[in-house]
Structure 1
Amino acid sequence: MQAEGHSLKMYIEEKGCKEIGFGFCTKVTDWQKHTDWADLIIFDYTGYGEICEQLRNQGKRVIGGSKYTDLLEMDRNFGHQQLKLHKIKVLPSYEFANFQEAIRFIEKHPDAYVIKPSGETQEFKQLLFVGSDDEGLDVIRVLKAYEKSWGNDFGDFQLQKKVKGVEISIAAFFNGKQFIKPVNITFEHKKLFPKELGVSTGEMGTSMFWTHDSPLFDATLKKFEASLAKANFIGHIDINCIVNGNGIYPLEFTSRFGYPQIMIQRAGITEPMGDFFYKLASGQHFDIKVKKGFQVGVFIVVPPFPYEDKKTFKLFSKDAVVIFKKNNKEGIHPMHLKNINNEWLITGDTGIALLVSGTGLTMKDAQRNMYNRVQNVIVNNSYYRTDIGDRWLEDSDKLWSWGLL
């Protein structure tokens, strides 16, 4: 947006991430002092819905959440109740406040389950555990391990019945009154290693496409249009689902930008982002101008990702330089970096260096475009997945046969 000629000020609340963006744009230490200066205010995270509502009531143009959409994401039980209320079927899930209670439940009702932390703990994506044992014995072992390592600090969590199928996300922008087309269909790659091995990271990369017509959208997000309008929500919302031949089963909401989803969406949006966000926040109805075909993106990360370990980060990654073999930064999105004397240095505390995107008329074209760009980057000790987009080959066949594309 800054490159398009707009003035921009950036505020980061998270203490360990204060340096991010330094040298790229103007940083401020108190965002509230600059609300009168801004034509547009963007909140890129959940939990600020009440503040967003107050600012909108003052006549400010705001992209961000609402109290209602914060609850959809942060309170899994509330989200499930709302899905049922909007006549969308959900997988059986059960809320627990302690581990022993959950273990006794599995012993009485043996099945394959998924452990899903609620509230603040759900930010630790590696704690999400997808069981594979039909008796739930693997889930019991993990619950016992969590009890030893976390004790009472874990908070509430859900056990959700596991179902096999294709994991897919349906995302769209909302202008306060209605959804803006086209909608975005997304395939996330959450495990650390290729072929879905290793711990859950939250995200290692994503493939996607835009479409005006989607049976998946009509069966899920579209049903929330009136409720989102009532909440005066303006922003981006995503619903993650498992789909199979028996139907569509929503898992959870993300009522904010997704990461790296928003950066990869940007690779597919052909109109200026400043204009796009301004129109959205003004409540205008318009079609988003997007590329045909597919967009794909991969995170380049450094130690200790996906874990938090300050000593390891300081030793291996802090202030490491991002080097480009050729001076071409197309498709390169700086993540947790600062810019010192035109050198990109890694900062923050999580070890996400870059998001690299690619586009193409076919998924193979988009992958080739992205990985060619990855080859232009050198980051010491970095790692990334080499199979982002491969899921599409099999998943698309299944989705076609189920009538969902």
Structure 2
Amino acid sequence: MKKDKQKNNTEIKRNFLIVSRWGETLDIAVAILNEGHDVKMYIEDKPSREIGYGFVKKAKDWKSHVDWADVLIFDYTGYGKTCSELRAQGKLVIGGTEYSDMLELDRNFGQDELKKLGIKILPSKEFFNFQDAIDYVKSNPNSYVIKPSGETQEYKQLLFVGSDDEGLDVIRVLKAYEKSWGNDFGNFQLQRKVKGVEVSVSAYFNGKEFIYPINVTFEHKKLFPKELGVSTGEMGSSMFWTKDSPIFDATLKKFEKSLAKGGFVGQLDINCIVNGNGIFPLEFTSRFGYPQIFIQRAGITEPIGNMFYKLAVGESFKINVRKGFQVGAYMVVPPFPFEDKKSFELFSKDSVIVFKKELKEGIHPMHLKKINDEWLITGNTGIALMVTGTGLTMKDAQRMMKNRINNIIINNVYYRTDIGDRWSDDFDRLWSWGLL
């Protein structure tokens, strides 16, 4: 009886309205559309609005389609108040709350909430001008991480991880930022740097409780292999799903009551540094992670539209996932990770993505449009594709991903070739610390 009910639930055609900040969720829109649902996508950022043309129906004003939608999906932070208001009107919404927005956007608030729940955090201090921060480092010599807050944190290349034990490299960077940004930088944090394994845990929340299994992700943030070059936000990730995690129990699990109070629906992720001395949370992502959601989708074996519907109605269920590992790498073109309209138009705009063989499984469209069934790069940042692979071992997943990448031709493309290579070392250390 239960199986028939589930089968009928997946076959019901629904209307999904996706409200996107920068068009990041095109892949999700296409996946839900291919599952037989109706999808409309609105993109807030004007230079990004061509993303998705030819792939999915576009909405010029999302508010005029609210009554049409069975499920609304908000793909970024900052919409929390709107999501709560829509829920109060009886709408089914995947998205944040004002509380969950604050966890991500206000670093100090997030750290204070961790402290309230008795979770150990790294020493950090907020600053509103560079000179105060420089004086602080001189008075408290140590290695630090510079972390922009608010809107400035979207410029991932501004995050700086110091390596000098006296903080001399941090002082030099602060002086450079002062010259280039002046008073426009906004507030920022200096956080004490510790050595260990960087790992994030995340789980989906249905408005009342976390849904299992838990996702464990290892991000690769620098532009070049071996963690060289500028910080991009992310170039790819490796991950696995697990029914339990000591890191999750020590961090996110403790937020269940706070999230339920506001009716949060979606994914919450916390990035941590872990070592033999413990688990040190760094920052929250209270929305889909990018590219995390696309690599997760490679490991989720149930229709993603149906999974989102079950979350939005508050159903308690287990997500069906693959055993083993998933990996994914962004394929990008100039000027990524920077914004330079002239370079983008010169090197990348309307570049065609060519497939040697017409195989598109594990190929996730990012900032693309479709004309005459050809995939063309659009937007303004140069993120073309996310390519994923799965396998019972990390090497199997990497092999699948690399084979798929080798089937693709994009002019001027670059990508990380080492996504997942750290796993053997990370596994040994996490296992020895009892964190797996």
**Hey, what's the Cα distance between the residues in 1 that align with 2:248 and 2:166?**
34
Code of the residue aligned with 1:108 in structure 2: it is S
Other-structure match for 1:42: 73
Question: How far apart are residue 125 of structure 1 and its match?
Answer: 0.2
**Hey, what's the Cα distance between the residues in 2 that align with 1:22 and 1:110?**
52
SS at match of 2:99: helix
Other-structure match for 1:267: 298
Aligned with 1:364 (options 382, 387, 395):
395
Encode CA deviations 1:200-247: one digit per residue, 9 max, x unaligned. Answer: 000000000000011111001000001100111000110000000000
Code of the residue aligned with 1:231 in structure 2: it is G
**Hey, what's the Cα distance between the residues in 2 that align with 1:223 and 1:371?**
38
Extract structure 1 runs of 4+ deviating beyond 4 A: none
Aligned with 2:348 (options 291, 314, 317):
317
Question: How far apart are residue 16 of structure 1 and its match?
Answer: 1.1
**Hey, what's the Cα distance between the residues in 1 that align with 2:149 and 2:304?**
33
SS at match of 1:2: helix
Alignment of 1:104-119 (within 5 A): 104-119=135-150
**Hey, what's the Cα distance between the residues in 2 that align with 1:385 and 1:265?**
19
**Hey, what's the Cα distance between the residues in 2 that align with 1:15 and 1:86?**
40
Question: How far apart are residue 391 of structure 1 and its match?
Answer: 1.1
Other-structure match for 2:27: none
Aligned with 1:373 (options 400, 404, 407):
404
**Hey, what's the Cα distance between the residues in 2 that align with 1:99 and 1:45?**
29
**Hey, what's the Cα distance between the residues in 2 that align with 1:154 and 1:188?**
26
Aligned with 1:205 (options 236, 240, 252):
236
**Hey, what's the Cα distance between the residues in 1 that align with 2:384 and 2:186?**
31
Code of the residue aligned with 1:52 in structure 2: it is C
Question: How far apart are residue 333 of structure 1 and its match?
Answer: 0.2
Other-structure match for 1:102: 133
2:37 is the alignment partner of 1:6: yes
**Hey, what's the Cα distance between the residues in 2 that align with 1:259 and 1:213?**
23
Other-structure match for 1:131: 162
Code of the residue aligned with 2:270 in structure 1: it is I
Other-structure match for 1:397: 428
SS at match of 1:384: coil
**Hey, what's the Cα distance between the residues in 2 that align with 1:14 and 1:240?**
27
**Hey, what's the Cα distance between the residues in 1 that align with 2:46 and 2:423?**
38
Other-structure match for 2:267: 236
Alignment of 1:317-356 (within 5 A): 317-356=348-387
Encode CA deviations 1:176-215: one digit per residue, 9 max, x unaligned. Answer: 0000000100000000000000000000000000000111
Alignment of 1:45-56 (within 5 A): 45-56=76-87
TM-score (norm 2): 0.93
**Hey, what's the Cα distance between the residues in 2 that align with 1:371 and 1:237?**
29
Other-structure match for 1:167: 198
SS at match of 1:183: strand
Code of the residue aligned with 2:62 in structure 1: it is W
Code of the residue aligned with 2:284 in structure 1: it is F
Code of the residue aligned with 1:357 in structure 2: it is T
Question: How far apart are residue 393 of structure 1 and its match?
Answer: 1.0
SS at match of 1:140: helix
Number of residues of Structure 1 aligned to a counterpart in Structure 2: 405
Alignment of 1:209-224 (within 5 A): 209-224=240-255
Other-structure match for 1:31: 62
**Hey, what's the Cα distance between the residues in 1 that align with 2:125 and 2:194?**
15
2:313 is the alignment partner of 1:297: no
2:280 is the alignment partner of 1:249: yes
**Hey, what's the Cα distance between the residues in 1 that align with 2:344 and 2:429?**
41
**Hey, what's the Cα distance between the residues in 1 that align with 2:312 and 2:326?**
25
Encode CA deviations 1:112-141: one digit per residue, 9 max, x unaligned. Answer: 000000000000000000000000000000
SS at match of 1:235: strand
**Hey, what's the Cα distance between the residues in 2 that align with 1:6 and 1:39?**
10
Identical pairs, percent: 74
Structure 1 residues not aligned, in runs of 5+:
none
**Hey, what's the Cα distance between the residues in 2 that align with 1:272 and 1:192?**
32
Question: How far apart are residue 274 of structure 1 and its match?
Answer: 1.0
Aligned with 1:188 (options 219, 241, 247):
219
Code of the residue aligned with 1:26 in structure 2: it is K
Aligned with 1:17 (options 41, 48, 63):
48
Encode CA deviations 1:307-343: one digit per residue, 9 max, x unaligned. Answer: 0100000000000000000000000000000001101
**CA RMSD, Structure 1 to Structure 2 (Å):** 0.4
SS at match of 1:73: helix
**Hey, what's the Cα distance between the residues in 2 that align with 1:119 and 1:278?**
31
Code of the residue aligned with 2:276 in structure 1: it is G
Code of the residue aligned with 2:285 in structure 1: it is T
2:317 is the alignment partner of 1:286: yes
Aligned with 1:74 (options 105, 125, 132):
105
**Hey, what's the Cα distance between the residues in 1 that align with 2:125 and 2:34?**
48
